[in-house]
Each structure stands twice: as structure tokens, then as C-alpha cells.
Amino acid sequence: MVVETVPSQAEVDQIFHALADATRRDILERVIGREQSVSTLGRAYAMSLPAVQKHVGVLERAGLVSKHRAGREQHVRAEPERIALARELLGRYEELWRTRIAAMDRLLAEDPTEQKE
């Protein structure tokens, strides 16, 4: 049995905050492809390892990635269910805008010279 949970506004804010940064989106892309250590991720960026760790922390707090220890290293992996939630949230906004645009299209298509009763 699958139980759907509605994310709180704070959770939604964390997800979008995490995705608002290009480095974090790139980290997420990298770990979607395959799990990677924080040190491996760090070598991909022109920033300090602590800075990369902070980015990973933001993604982790949003639930988009998780970390686990493998020997002496911290490995980062994507959390597909949370990523699917982000996609679903964006889909809701897309539907809202499509509905609004369709309503505007209908208004613009109306003939203003027609008498309304």
C-alpha cells in the first residue's frame, strides 16, 4: 500500500531552495547517474571541499540526496522518490499556468463586437 504524503510548505521551500543553485543541480545530476563520494564531487568544482559539503548538505536537508559512510568516505546518492516529488510539484505549477494561459487565449479569441446578453 502506497501512502501519499502532502509536503509541508517548509519542505517545498527546501526543495526549491536546493534546486535554485546551479552547483547543487549539477551535483544532483552527477549522483542521479551514479553514487559518488563527496571528495569525488569536490574535484569537479573550483571550490573548497567544505563548500561542496555545504551544497550536499542543502540537498540532503531537502531530501533530494542521502549520504552514507563507505570506509573513510561519505557517499552521496540521489533519492528518486523526493526527486519525483519535485517533478510533481513543478507539474502542478505547469498545469496552473497552462490553465491560466488557456483562459487568456479564450478571452482574446472572443469577438468584442458581439453583444453579450
Distance CA 101, CA 106 (A): 9
> CATH number of the domain that 42 lies in?
1.10.10.10
The pLDDT of residue 112 is 75
Any domain includes 71 = yes
Distance CA 5, CA 83 (A): 14
Calculated CA dihedral for residues 35, 54, 74, 66, nearest 10 degrees: -50
Any domain includes 93 = yes
Any domain includes 13 = yes
Range of the domain at 60: 9-109
pLDDT band at 110 (very low <50, low <70, confident <90, very high): confident
Question: Percentage of the chain with pLDDT > 70?
Answer: 92
Report the number of distinct structural domains present in the chain.
1
pLDDT band at 1 (very low <50, low <70, confident <90, very high): low
Distance CA 64, CA 92 (A): 19
Any domain includes 100 = yes
pLDDT digits (tens, 9 = 90+) for 24-61: 999 999 999 999 999 999 999 999 999 999 999 999 99
Instruction: Report the amino acid identity of residue 88.
Output: E
